[in-house]
Structure 1
């Protein structure tokens, strides 16, 4: 799961090394060769990571392999820090006007040779360290490959369903049963119903129940179930349909035209039900081709059901409105937990004691209506009557549980794995926020931009527009949801709670949404943190033990901790910081009636891209040196009525929200 983080880091570092500024300075300072060698090493490791992400069996990674990933992640961050320090030195000299820009790159200019020597040595050491880590993988930590890659031609599924797999959905079954049994009024004679929902919500199980219903079996002359692996392959679907229709052994050897002719001959004047299960991606041209060849002769009354995790696919294939499958009730999830824990279907006090019943009612809240999570939780308690085990599970987060083949995070991850790397990183980054947190869409995109997670398409598109496209794609697979307010404008979004567990799991400790620092020290793997429990000295002590933070966010309004030196300490400690959002913090940059100005030292945070300040009624001015922040892209000011922004009128990133 860490491959995505590492791949993105490698891409980010390579992008910095390849930038014009670093290239020119590296050449002028005599470290061009070292940078090129480091770049070559990173490019090779990046290719290995891409293979690991796409081709290998993540479930078979050993503990040693995970340790290797951790070592590589630490080395990558050190390399990123090194390149940042290079940029920092360049920007610092520009900011302090140590010398004129016109002769900045001049080889005749006096260079700090001590800095050059240290820089060169560190680049060489990082490169050797990466070489050693890469060598260790081949020696000690081989990545386990899948024995058979999943392709369209290897996918199959039974249309049978066990009663233990299914509870509830009475209303859904009634509505969909009516769709199947009612005469078609479509002029073309064949309706297509898309059923859409997140992975593991129960789409397949629901359709299996209908598919195997006696009345449905009698209603259709032919029923066909095809499990579609990711993309729609027309020839593969035709071959699978032919296996239901005929025992003709040579159908696999027929070309597409022969298959089409034979298929149309067999389906003509036949009322059939076709289920295309788990269609994740769909080229509309392929779909139109398949639909056209199925709609042959008199197919009046034939129906097609398509299950998908992608709203875009549903909109592309449907001839009737999409059926969005919602969550289960807590009562249904509780029933699933008892079933998969090995207890009788109906809970009775003669089987388990009242205390376990109460604990179960708390555990079921973790499911958020997600049946696969209920099955996972129940399976973890199989035939367990020890109250301590139930209490232990109650206190655990879902992402802390060991995940087996059919458990909920493994199922959800199948949707995650198919997404482009840039979407994966944006998705993971959101895990710094707590569950159910609502955020302005513009602000979320600014955070993604500040971390370099939005990649330019090369077509002169604004990064903000690309960010909107990223969010829409994540919404289409139900990893985010937009929130409409009374003005019907979707200016806010949030991550579904069950999906948040997946984001935390995939972040691999890099992101932290902390509610309590009292639980012990924070891992040095944490690079992005949101704070929503202002506990005074404990917050400050724990936070400042993290030297390589990229993000500090206070998502909720705090009670006021009173650490007036917080910003100064950020300036002196976190020179790699990209985002400092204190708009809701309990520290003295916000909500402080006595604060009249910000520290002049903010100019030292030369990597800072986003600054948010709020609720400081007596703040009258911003440091003039803040204008020297070359990377600053967004400056948000709200509820600071006396703040004079003279000189900032032309700054394109200024947003004053009152």
Structure 2
């Protein structure tokens, strides 16, 4: 029987809501104080023993059943508390309107106070009785109270590129062997296939990245392409990935025949290098079908395949497999020390290094195991923590050669409980999925997974802390910090662990699925599942479904029936993802989904108007209307969405209605008619992120910036009429807290606007891309003392960094490309501007890493 997980975390969240001052006040208003107080007491007593129960259930199936029953009651209790919160927000809307109260009450006509009070009193009594009944059984399990004393570890420095050679230890010899083969003469085959074989976690992908990014390989091949194949060898998906890797375009809209033609056209007569990473398919017919499509390349083309299977290597390779071995002990120890200590600090803790030496031997040269345990022990200086890892029983489970899941499990077990649930949510997505923090955090937020003892901490900041913690524990890879947004993937073994920890809570469904457990709370779909009526019937068995999510861009529901089913059948949804849909009308009954936190309608190609009933969703935190290019106007009552924090929009309107003061993140894209933002922005005084893309009619930001005193990130792209210089008149009104500023595709930008000086003490990242008429940087650039990253791309008229002395003490990353004059002045040692940037640790000139 599968273990029940996250019960402690759900109880902690529920208890936190019950004891909050706002909820205590609501109890008095609605006359349910007595029952909720008893519910709180029972919940508090049960929570105390839940950690012990979750651990002991491995040896007691009755405990697993008991925990499952508790979880169902907890989730139902959350739904009840949610209704109280929503009613409180609706009352707030009524009160804020003053003379319009009667009109607003009609808007919320379903909320009769007397009926609501009676209904909710009954629901609370029912929940309390159910919890009392289940909780009474805890006595027979003899459980001990325990607290969750696992804390978030201290974060380490984040990386900024897909592969840092300095982070890969012990693979120089392997890299040289493979590069030498790639550079050598053809082996008589039209295309050479080099298979790299090794167990999971050994570093096959890291080695392939080293080869892929080697300067000799870059110069030798006309075309490079990276594709992660993973579990499913589906030809169309592979073609889409290849074309995206080559052209940077997502062509999921094409059928398989069109994709084949497009791929052949791109490869025709060119010497290419293709990496097929993490191949599992043993069907030779599928491989031959793909191989035949690649034959149009020039002689000397090469394919590098990474796989765990010698059978696959033999089937695909045109040469003997390159068998990757484990690291030597000294290499493993060096890697462990790199992850367990800050540089040089290991000399102060020789006792810990001795214990670490024994731990490393048990890792058998597997880098992922070494890094995972090193990161687990990072910042821990108590010898008992190290002995706990060295002598842990998990080593007894690690009997199968190369099976390091138990090592990762140990690191997972040491996570705080709230982080475990967020990590398990990653199982919701397919292997090799590219995560974006803006999207992931809003899913976590919508499901109430973000917790902090600091009530004033923004949920987006909590989410970023969680991601930093997962990175520090070595569960994330391919991590790129883009400033306000981070992108990453997770290792396939970490994905397996997430699947194991999520158990029945999360499920990826497809058209072939026949049965869905009633205990499934979150589902995602990766194909045209929504067209299958049987799937919808199966889903309806899960009466309390919380999430319906699409993870394949370009595929969405085309029929209104799917949407109607979601709205009518799944009334407890927190997340409803209808992206890439093509229905014309969103049903007005959407307003009944009062638990909904996130609604994604992005890239709908047909919808013209939204029902005003959408503004009844008082709990809505994120609304995505980006790419809805036929949307004529936004609902007039959008200001009633009092909890809306994230808003992405495309519309044909000339001006936008006022938004709630709760808004933190705003993305305006492809709003070609937009002329003014004054009405929308004058109440958005808490906005932190503003991105304006492809809004060709917008002329000025001057009237709105004075409202945005908390703005931290501003990005402007392809707004050709926007005058950034006329903002100079009254600089006292401009934001002073900007951390990130990006100007992209702005041909009208000739000089940098002086208002940037107002953020001289806070600005950390400055990106200027495709501004062909920018001629010079201002002298005040030297005042940006906090600037960590400066990126300048495609600014051919820019001739120098600064006329004066440039000293940016915090500068770490400096990148220039397609700026010929500036590139010459920044050449190492000999360039006139080299001394200004030489202290940066990460320097790229025209894509080549200098240091």
Instruction: Bin the TM-score by the shorter chain.
Output: 0.5 to 0.7
Distance in 2 separating the partners of 1:546 and 1:303:
48
1:242 corresponds in structure 2 to: none
Tell me how far apart the structure 1 counterparts of residues 115 and 638 of structure 2 sit (CA, whole Å). Answer: 29
Q: Kindly state the Cα deviation for residue 627 of structure 1 after the two structures are TM-superposed.
A: 2.8
Q: Could you list the per-position Cα deviations for residues 464-504 of structure 1 after superposition, in whole angstroms to 9, with x for gaps in the alignment?
A: 2332221121112221224449x899731122222112112
In structure 1, what is the Cα distance between the partners aligned to 2:48 and 2:377?
34
Alignment of 1:202-217 (within 5 A): none
Q: Structure 2 residue aligned with 1:68, among 63, 66, 69? A: 66
CA contact (8 A) 2:581 2:604 kept: no
Contact 1:609–1:631 (CA<8 Å) still a contact in 2? yes
Do residues 417 (structure 1) and 476 (structure 2) align? no
- 1:532 to 2:536 alignment: no
**Deviation per residue, 1:251-303 (Å, 9 max, x gap):** xxxxxxxxxxxxxxxxxxxxx999799899779999665339999xxxxxx99
Which residue matches 1:334?
Answer: none
Secondary structure class of the residue paired with 2:520: coil
Residue pairs, 1:474-623, within 5 angstroms: 474-484=470-480, 491-516=486-511, 518-535=512-529, 536-538=531-533, 539-559=535-555, 561-564=557-560, 566-567=562-563, 569-585=565-581, 589-623=601-635
Alignment partner, residue 124 of structure 2 = 123
Q: 1:100 to 1:429 in 2, by over 3 A?
A: farther
Q: Name the CA shift for 1:2/1:655 in 2 (closer, same or farther; >3 Å).
A: farther
User: In structure 1, what is the Cα distance between the partners aligned to 2:452 and 2:20?
Assistant: 14
Alignment of 1:49-448 (within 5 A): 49-53=50-54, 56-60=55-59, 62-95=60-93, 112-139=113-140, 201=201, 289-291=348-350, 307-309=370-372, 312=375, 409-448=405-444
In structure 1, how many angstroms separate the alpha carbons of the residues matched to 2:493 and 2:36?
43
Please tell me whether the aligned partners of residues 525 and 550 of structure 2 are also in contact (alpha carbons under 8 angstroms): yes
Partner residue, 1:19: 20
**2:425 and 2:502 in contact (8 A); partners too:** yes
Which of the pair is proportionally richer in helix?
1
Please say if residues 2 and 508 of structure 1, whose CA atoms lie closer than 8 Å, have aligned partners that are also in contact.
yes
The offset of 1:98, in angstroms, is 11
Provide structure 1 residue ranges, at least 5 long, that are not aligned to the other structure: 103-109, 146-168, 176-198, 204-271, 296-301, 318-370, 379-405
CA distance in 2, matches of 1:274, 1:410: 18
Q: Distance in 2 between matches of 1:287 and 1:459?
A: 37
1:500-536 deviations in Å (ceiling 9; x for gaps): 12112111211122233x4223222222222222231
C-alpha displacement at 1:35, in angstroms? Answer: 0.9
Hey, what's the Cα distance between the residues in 2 that align with 1:582 and 1:643? 26
Q: TM-score scaled by structure 2?
A: 0.45
Query: Does the 8 Å contact 2:398/2:406 carry over to 1?
Result: no
Give the structure-1-normalised TM-score: 0.57
Counterpart residue number, 1:33:
34
Partner of 1:395: none
What is the alpha-carbon distance in structure 2 between the residues aligned to residue 315 and residue 36 of structure 1?
A: 42
Counterpart secondary structure, 1:529: strand
CA deviations on 1:92-139 (whole Å, 9 max, x unpaired) are 44446699799xxxxxxx984443333223323322222221222433
Distance 1:587 1:502, change over 3 A: farther
CA distance in 2, matches of 1:417, 1:303: 21
Matched residue, 1:631: 643
Q: 1:576 is paired with a residue of what secondary structure?
A: coil
| Stretch deviating more after TM superposition (581-590 or 7-16) | 581-590
Q: Specify whether residues 459 and 129 from structure 1 end up closer, same or farther in structure 2 by C-alpha distance, changes over 3 A only.
A: closer
Pick 1 or 2: higher relative contact order, CA cutoff 8 A, min separation 6.
1
- 1:551-597 Cα offsets, whole Å, 9 max, x none, are 22212234454222555554454443333333344655454443111
Report if the CA contact (8 A) 1:619-1:643 is conserved: no
**Separation in 2, partners of 1:277, 1:171:** 9
Aligned twin of 2:707: none
* Deviation string, structure 1 residues 370-422 (Cα, Å, up to 9, x no partner): x999976x9xxxxxxxxxxxxxxxxxxxxxxxxxxx96544432111001112
Is 1:645 matched with 2:656? Answer: yes
Q: Cα offset for 1:311?
A: 5.8
Q: How many residues align?
A: 447
- Native 8 Å contact 1:65 1:142 kept in 2: no
SS in 1 for 2:415: coil
8 A contact 1:554–1:585 mirrored in 2: no
Q: Secondary structure at the match of 2:548?
A: strand
Measured on the aligned residues, the alpha-carbon RMSD in Å equals 4.9
- SS at 2:488's partner residue? strand
Mapped partners of 1:532, 1:59: distance in 2: 32
1:69 to partner: Cα distance: 1.7
Match of 1:469 in 2: 465
2-structure distance, mates of 1:626, 1:488: 30
Give the 3-state SS of the residue equivalent to 2:609 in structure 1: coil
Name the CA distance, whole Å, in 2 between partners of 1:461 and 1:590: 29
SS at match of 2:349: helix
After superposition, the C-alpha distances for 1:43-80 in whole angstroms (9 at most, x for unaligned) are 11111113335xx44532x3322222211111111111
